[in-house]
Amino acid sequence: MIKPVGSDELKPLFVYDPDKHHELMHEAEGLPSVVISSQAAGNAVMMGAGYFSPLPGFMALADAMGACESMRLTNGDFFPVPVLCLLDDVAAIRGAKRIALRDPNMEGNPVLAIMDVEAIEEVSDEQMAFMTEKVYRTKDPEHPGVQTFNSHGRFAVSGPIQVLHFSYFQDDFPDTFRTAVEIRNEISERGWKRVVAFQTRNPMHLAHEELCHMAMQRLDCDGLVIHMLLGKLKPGDIPAPVRDAAIRKMVELYFPPNSAMVTGYGFDMLYAGPREAVLHAYFRQNMGATHFIIGRDHAGVGDYYGAFDAQTIFDEEVPAGALQIEIFKADHTAWSKKLGRVVMMREAPDHTKEDFVLLSGTKVREMLSNGIAPPPEFSRPEVAKILMDYYQSL
């Protein structure tokens, strides 16, 4: 099986030993504590689950700046984005060597992790602007990722963490949320050697489904891991339970047995385009995938990124040898009226736009809201039914 990034074995930060876990939970109740941001909570979950291995905890400012500048931490380790715990107010934890980090996304703000505090550093406006520009390629406050990143405060609290809970993800998505450790184990149990991963924050329509079949066939893969984001999205995106139901129905009906796993991970979307694509590849290698599909405008939003920037970054900016996972570079896929099947648009040079079935997201939402199924060349009827039921319930 493919090795994790920068290590021979995964280094999840979740405390699995029940006695140790109980001891730490008891200790946490007596520690100075702070409620962290949703984004920081997602980062803690990802570290706990092994996805960000071998990262030992929240980054100090120098490491965060290095990740932004060159995707290298001060010790030389590769990491493509800053993983910060930013706070507005540190009065409750100032001077403390050990603190409890509390979950903002669950009632009562239960303890998510314990941190050994190595530093509390104030981040300057210039440093925030530098990191924002490097990661998001824009400082536009209207960009949802920029807006979120700059809303968390200016105090960076850093140090190694011990994770004690997987937030609401394990409770709300017991059949879907999986750690990198669990996915690696299941890949091994299924006997898969070549595994392609597919990222989604949306339901999968026919073009997405066929793209996965294409990638599996062309890469000679044994299996596909559909790995959906379960965390917070921007307003208007379809909620995770609806996406989950739609994707499971598609896999049940249109994929052979033992060829596809439906899983999810606990993280809030960054909408960071190319940089987020690299992060996606990083943690897909950690979960055991040998290949990763990156299509048009991967992890993008609006018109902030070029259509294929999320592919070219692997050739132009990712340090050589940093990742072993291979990228399957896909074009936009759509139904060809000429050929009667889904194709990658770049592989049909004799086609015009009119030769494809192309529907905007706005048009699809409008149809579903009105109880009209998109054409079968665009969406499987069983998937469309689940989405129609959702939109008509709003």
**Which residue out of 202, 275, 296, 346 is catalytically annotated?**
202
75 is annotated as an active-site residue: no
258 an active-site residue?
A: no
Q: Are strands 223-229 and 195-200 parallel, antiparallel or unpaired?
A: parallel
CA end-to-end distance (rounded Å), the chain: 44
Q: Which of 98, 201, 248, 365 is catalytic?
A: 201
> How far, rounded to the nearest angstrom, does the alpha carbon of residue 219 sit from its chain's CA centroid?
23
Residues labelled catalytic: 201-202
